[in-house]
């Protein structure tokens, strides 16, 4: 990621963390356009969309982040939790199982096991 894209990501992510989704969204959209292989930009944009009620678009952004970094358990867990929130348990299951497979002792795996226990 070049310096300008990094700056856009950092500003957008800071705005996201501050709850300023109106400012965060265009910054993160610029970042993903400039560097479509930057999984963290897709992930952060997914959170903005999730928090603004654009669930289908959020899932698409989380999915893209997971495609770019398939071993990132944080990205996998956020995608699974979003799917669960929408009642898509069958779609969430493989992501939760993958987390346990990748990092069985991680905080994400503990949460994945707990969520799977409800199915």
| pTM for this entry | 0.95
* CATH 1.25.40.10 corresponds to the domain 1-65: yes
Could you list the pLDDT tens digit for every one of the 119 residues in the chain?
Answer: 899 999 999 999 999 999 999 999 999 999 999 999 999 999 999 999 999 999 999 999 999 999 999 999 999 999 999 999 999 999 999 999 999 999 999 999 999 999 999 88
Question: 82: which residues sit within 8 A by CB, 6+ positions away?
Answer: 46, 50, 55, 58, 59, 62
What pLDDT sits at residue 119?
86
Nearest to 21 by CA among 48, 47, 42: 48
Q: Is residue 50 within 8 Å of residue 82, measured between CB atoms?
A: yes
Give the torsion sign (CA, 100, 56, 25, 85).
negative
Question: 33: which residues sit within 8 A by CB, 6+ positions away?
Answer: none
Give the torsion sign (CA, 64, 68, 71, 72).
negative
Domain ranges of the chain: 1-65, 70-119
């Amino acid at each position: 990621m070049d310096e300008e894209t990094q700056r856009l990501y950092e500003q957008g992510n800071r705005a996201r963390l501050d709850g300023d989704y109106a400012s965060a969204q265009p910054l993160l959209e610029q970042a993903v356009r400039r560097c479509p292989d930057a999984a963290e930009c897709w992930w952060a944009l997914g959170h903005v969309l999730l928090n603004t009620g654009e669930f289908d678009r959020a899932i698409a952004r989380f999915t893209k982040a997971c495609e770019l970094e398939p071993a990132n358990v944080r990205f996998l867990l956020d995608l699974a939790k979003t799917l669960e929130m929408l009642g898509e348990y069958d779609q969430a299951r493989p992501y939760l199982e993958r987390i346990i497979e990748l990092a069985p002792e991680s905080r994400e795996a503990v949460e994945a096991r707990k969520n799977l226990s409800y199915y």
